[in-house]
Structure 1
Amino acid sequence: MKRRTFLAAGAANALNAALTTAPLGARPSRAPRVGRFEAVREGTVWTFRGIRYGRAERFAPPRPEPIDGAPITAAHFGPLCPQRALSDQPQSEDCLFLNVWTPEAHPAASRAVMVYFHGGAYTTGSVTDPLTHGARLAAGGDVVVVTVNHRLNALGYAWLKSFDLRLGDSGNLGQLDLILALQWVHAHIARFGGDPARVMVFGQSGGGAKIATLMAMPAARGLFHSAATMSGQQVQASGPMHAEARTRAFFAHLGLAQGDVAALRALPVERLIEGLDATDPVMGQGPVYFGPVLDMTNLPRHPFWPDAAPQSLDVPMILGNVHDETRAFLDPRGPKLAGLNWDNLPARIAPEIKIDLDPQWAVAQYRTRYPQWSPERIFYAATTAGRSWPGQVIEADARAHAGAAATWVYQLDRPSPLDPLRGAAHTDDIPYVFGTLDAPGSYSGTDTGAQALSKTMMRAFAGLARQGRPGLAEWSPYALPTRATMVFDDRSRVEADPRRWERELWASAPYVQPGS
């Protein structure tokens, strides 16, 4: 580094009370500090991990946390919400922490901000996942990246109002945590080099569903200016009666008297997590579901039923899915595919779809349309199109019908070069957007094709954050009836309604939102 640059950086630090960084390309004499948090270097950007944005008692709304205080080095992630998954990581009910990656912790930098919410169907997950570390996206996209942990499962979404009217917020506490995090961003991100007037939220799977839900929550209005959902939609929330039935199943599984909220509050958190093994009384199978509840106060309407929530219409949005969603959670090498043949194919499909169509009829339609396809290929096409994809189509169409701000739709087609049976499966778009191609859990590979696609998708998402439209001039907005869709692949291109036949087939009957 030239001596003049070094001295200039040192002078800037001395003049700025927040200990900001020097311009990109120059290293300051020491790490910047914002409030009580001192950064650590990660590549070419500064990282602030484990920033507490709030506190909350069990089953109570969150309270904001001051940013100032005794100095600490922000080198470690905070604990994640207690859950069955990720048992090798620190977990705690005290889990309201976020992380910031920034090229420059200086108010004058005023970069666009990308805030990420993780997946896990409201029940599991964390932004401590190496796939979602933000250093490469912050550097490659020239943005400030924020990732957020919050309360999940029964801690964030158990509906207790039926038993205690004072707990009317209980079914949406996890969402209120996210709103508090966005309020924190609005209040403090300028000190980290971000522009509070250009905040984009993005999330994959459950993270995308959380965003769709926020788009119908009045308290979230104005806290973000663009959005992107990746394989994550929320057409309807859980109805309050269904939510009550789930909470009753939860009480029963724990051996507690129905409605004994005091006993539920007193349980060790480990026992509370055991209660998640209760069978869901609405879906009739699987563990009990907890997610956002139509409580008529925090969430006064369904996000995309009967139409797109009016408050969301002026928010430009990317909506995306991957081509072979269900290959990620219906293991090609697992028992659900063992012995698959033409005779048992309809019965194997039936429990996996969320549209009430005769699976024998559906299989017959696929065999007539695609006579060369194998039973396995039809299984994954049908379960993806009848389970994981319809919500995205409904939301994109609803926005188009309402004349909303521009919407851009994509599907990821690039198959994993590491696993020939995986195709382009659920979660596979994450490393392309974050640039974490070599992170544990990535199936993208690190070849030139993966690197090129990562740059393309990163440019698209960061462009939406910066100027309210993807950073790809060739990506046409979604409109009816053409349904322009960006197909991300080794040769990315825009196609009109690329899976029209499957879309129309599965639109023959209503879609049932899981958990509603």
Structure 2
Amino acid sequence: MGTSNINHSNGEDFIIAETRFGKIRGIHHRGINIFKGIPYGASTEGVNRFMPPVDPAGWTGIRDALEYGPSAPQSEPNKASNLASDVRNSAEEAIQTASGPSIFAALSVPGGNPAEESEDCLVLNVWTPAINDGRKRPVMFWLHGGGFRGGSGSNPGWDGTNLALRGDVVVITVNHRLNVMGFADFSEFSEDFKASGQVGMLDIVHALKWVQVNISQFGGDPNTVMIFGQSGGGRKCETLLAMPSAKGLFQRVAIESGIAIKIVDRSFAIRNAENLLNKLGIRQANVHAIRKTPLKQIMAAHFAVNRELGDVDLDTLGFSPSVDGVIIPQHPFHPMASPVSPDIPVMIGSTRTEYTGLTTDARLWQLDEEGLRTRIKELLGDQSDAMIRLYRKHNQGATPSDLFFLIQSDYRYNAATMKVAERRTALGKGPVYLYYFTWESPVQGGQLKSPHNIEWPFAFDNVQLCANLTGGGPEAISLADKVSEAWIAFARTGNPNTPKLPYWPRFNLEDRPTMVIDNVSKVVNDPLCEQRIAMFRALNLE
């Protein structure tokens, strides 16, 4: 990788790198070379729409890689002009009107307006140490959250500078197709669309192939690649573990608060595609017409389909990856863990009060006993009273709202996370390391506790950049020092142990050792034993 002495407008030097498709110009900042918006695939519009990704056309000269590239289409037409304004308006509304905690405010990051949306969204970003010593460094390949419906690798909270500096690693974030544009399954209507229901995941595979070919030019080791992601990004990691086409493209997996025990059944995927075509007025025999349909019309129809699905898990019933028997042969962890890549080490975990980061309903922080029982009965039916008694037994002094958030969090994330660790371990191959993140954020009076999203600023060593979520104080900085080191160690060796944390044993089915991450972290065997057993029963995961 070459350098130049050309001065950047901010006093930073331009840096030149060679890729398979042509030369790119990035910047040198704080000892890190940064390249943004690098195309790893061609535009997905027109004839490429709903088709597997293809390489971008090569270019002559030097292409600027100074700004984030476009995010995937995800906004509802006529509701918001683009993703950036949608996020900004939502945050402002939440801050102004919420009488309780605001996760929107907590997730806001300075300079956090995402890039424009476009079908030309197959781009990635690279942060790499500027030292040109010929060594090959571990690659930490980040998959953004937002379910399979939204989000972007261009979020400045995922700036890789601190991680690359701390760990002498290469950090990558990536954009790929989402929602209807990435997962509408038209395979029943034409052989030409046999992969259309999986192209969003195939984009990620294509990006990982780009890494194999190009990353050595950026000081990275193509044979030491860790994929990691939070929420929807974690689900993408789990789905990649079940994809034969992804086998061999990564060597470690870190899954943060993301659960994909099951993905969409093919019958649901076909039903959604039929519904979409009906709303667009396209006959199934004329499915090819969707390539010429204006994007705004497709997105409007997509949101209409989702509204008809109602209050369901759109990651298992909506436009998301589905089991097609070929590209994805089986559900990632149902009825057992996929055997596709059994030897890869896996680190997985979740947070104690995930649900405080998944709602904007201020009333949930003000529940009385009747409100608690009503809410949990909606969730668990006849099992609700017994579950409340169990959680009260293990959380003496907890308020009704506290109990609600704990039960909801275990129901939605923590129990399933433990089941994924169990089923992956049952393969008897690669090691599994389980964590439980219990550190509580001090922001907004501490009411968010340990919300969904809390662990990634620590993994990225970005707690000060993400101070609206973490507080950015000495406690957060100290914990980030330990957590980011563990993630780096795992990327480098497949083992998260560092001198900064207690010894972290691999998970086993007898003791179920779990790293409980807090100001004073410790390993606890089966920390939610009774709750876990009760939740397995409630979720039919026994």
Equivalent of residue 64 in structure 2, options 55, 68, 73: 73
C-alpha distance 243-410 of structure 1, shift in aligned 2 (>3 A): same
State, as a whole percentage, how many aligned pairs show the same letter. 32
Distance 2:119 2:187 in 1: 21
Contact 1:21 1:106 in 2 (8 A): no
Q: Which of residues 390, 413, 417 in structure 1 aligns to 2:415?
A: 390
1:462 corresponds in structure 2 to: 488
In the other structure, the counterpart of 2:343 is 314
User: Cα deviations across residues 229-268 of structure 1 (Å, max 9, x unaligned)?
Assistant: 0001211121110112222333344455567524433322
- Given the alignment of the two structures, is residue 406 of structure 1 paired with residue 442 of structure 2, yes or no? no
| Corresponding residue of 1:418 | 443
Unaligned stretches of 5+ in structure 1? 1-17
Residue 62 (structure 1) aligns with: 53
Q: Which amino acid aligns with 1:320?
A: G
**Counterpart contact for 2:28–2:130, Cα < 8 Å:** no
Q: 2:521 aligns with which of 492, 495, 511?
A: 492
1:145-182 Cα shifts (integer Å, max 9, x gaps): 01110000000011111222321101110110000000
- For 2:2, the equivalent position in structure 1 comes to 19
Task: Check the 8 A contact 2:14/2:28 in 1, yes or no.
Answer: no
1:10 corresponding residue in structure 2: none
Query: How far apart are the structure 2 equivalents of 1:179 and 1:339?
Result: 45
- Correspondence list, 1:99-498, <5 A: 99-104=125-130, 106=132, 108-254=134-280, 256-257=282-283, 260-278=286-304, 280=306, 284-285=310-311, 289-331=318-360, 334-335=362-363, 337=364, 340-350=367-377, 353=379, 358-370=383-395, 372-419=397-444, 420-439=446-465, 442-472=468-498, 474-498=503-527
Residue by residue, what CA displacement relative to the aligned partner does 1:166-218 show, whole Å, maximum 9, x if unpaired? 21101110110000000000111000000111111101111111111111111
Equivalent residue for 1:6?
none
Larger helix share, 1 or 2? 2
Q: Which residue identity lines up with residue 99 of structure 1 in the other structure?
A: N
User: In structure 1, the residue corresponding to 2:253 is in which secondary structure?
Assistant: strand
SS in 1 for 2:35: strand
| Partner Cα separation in structure 2 for residue 412 and residue 174 of structure 1 | 30
Structure 1 vs Structure 2 CA RMSD? 2.6
Partners of 2:84 and 2:344 in 1: CA distance: 37
Residue type of the partner of 2:400?
A: P
**Shift in CA distance, 28/34, structure 1 to aligned 2, threshold 3 Å:** farther
The structure-2 alpha-carbon separation of the partners of 1:485 and 1:73, relative to structure 1 and needing over 3 Å to count, comes to same
Contact 1:246 1:281 (C-alpha < 8 Å) held by counterparts = no
Question: Conserved in 1, the CA contact under 8 Å of 2:366 and 2:401?
Answer: no
- Letter of the aligned partner of 1:122 in structure 2? F
- Larger deviation: 299-308 or 78-87? 78-87
What is the rounded CA distance, in whole Å, between the counterparts of 2:492 and 2:365 in structure 1? Answer: 47
Structure 1 stretch 32-41 or stretch 358-367: which is displaced more? 358-367
Moved more, 78-87 or 96-105: 78-87
Shift of 1:31: 2.3
Matched, 1:93 2:106: no
Matched, 1:32 2:23: no
Q: Which amino acid aligns with 1:489?
A: D
C-alpha distance 252-372 of structure 1, shift in aligned 2 (>3 A): farther
CA contact (8 A) 1:130 1:440 kept: no
Per the TM alignment, residue 28 of structure 1 is displaced from its structure 2 partner at its CA by 11
- 1:62 CA drift (Å): 0.4
After TM superposition, the structure 1 stretch with the greater mean CA deviation from structure 2, 466-475 or 129-138, is 466-475
Map Cα deviations across residues 266-310 of structure 1 (whole Å, 9 max, x no partner). 322122222232355996425772111111111111111121112
Give the aligned length. 487
- Give the residue type in structure 2 aligned to 1:63: V
Paired letter, 1:390 = A
Q: Does 1:504 align with 2:533?
A: yes
Separation in 2, partners of 1:259, 1:455:
57
Give the secondary-structure state (helix, strand or coil) at the position aligned to 1:312. Answer: coil
2:38 maps to 1:51: yes
3-state SS of paired residue (2:320): coil
Closer, same or farther: CA 259–451 of 1 in aligned 2, 3 Å: farther
Q: Distance in 1 between matches of 2:12 and 2:303?
A: 51
Change (3 A) 1:140 1:442: farther
CA offset at residue 68 of structure 1?
5.9
Asked whether the equivalents of residues 134 and 219 of structure 2 are also in contact (C-alpha less than 8 Å), the reply is yes
Task: Give the deviation of 1:227 after TM superposition.
Answer: 0.8
Partners of 1:265 and 1:441 in 2: how far apart?
43
Contact (CA 8 Å) 1:127, 1:133: kept in 2 or not?
A: no
Structure 2 counterpart SS, 1:119: coil
Distance 1:193 1:357, change over 3 A: farther
2:230–2:453 CA contact under 8 A, matched in 1 = yes
TM-score scaled by length of structure 2: 0.84
Amino acid of the structure 1 residue aligned with 2:53: P
Report the more deviating stretch, 467-476 or 272-281.
272-281
Which one-letter code corresponds to 2:482 in the other structure? T
In 1, the alpha carbon distance for the partners of 2:450 and 2:197 equals: 34
The residue number in structure 2 matching 1:12 is: none
Partner Cα distance (1:407, 1:487) in 2: 15
C-alpha distance 253-368 of structure 1, shift in aligned 2 (>3 A): farther
Q: Secondary structure at the match of 1:60?
A: coil
Q: Which whole-Å deviations, capped at 9, do the CAs of 1:445-479 have from their partners, x for residues lacking one?
A: 22111111111111111111111211425111111
- Does the 8 Å contact 1:246/1:282 carry over to 2? no
More off after superposition, 283-292 vs 416-425: 283-292
State the secondary structure of the residue aligned to 1:344.
Answer: helix
Range that drifts further, 493-502 or 261-270: 261-270
Residues 92, 511 of structure 1: alpha-carbon distance in 2 compared, 3 angstrom cutoff: farther
2:2 and 2:231 mapped to 1: Cα distance? 37
Contact 2:13 2:28 in 1 (8 A): no
* Residue identity matched to 2:505: S
Q: Which one-letter code corresponds to 2:16 in the other structure?
A: P
Could you tell me how far apart the structure 1 residues matched to 2:58 and 2:25 are? 12
Deviates more, 1:109-118 or 1:300-309: 300-309
1:481-503 CA deviation, whole Å, 9 max, x = no partner? 21111111111121111111211
* TM-score w.r.t. length of structure 1: 0.88
Q: Once the 2 structures are TM-superposed, how far is the Cα of residue 29 of structure 1 from its aligned partner? A: 8.0
Distance 1:371 1:453, change over 3 A: closer
Distance 1:21 1:188, change over 3 A: farther
Q: Which amino acid aligns with 1:65?
A: P
Q: What CA distance in whole angstroms lies between the structure 1 residues aligned with 2:376 and 2:338?
A: 32
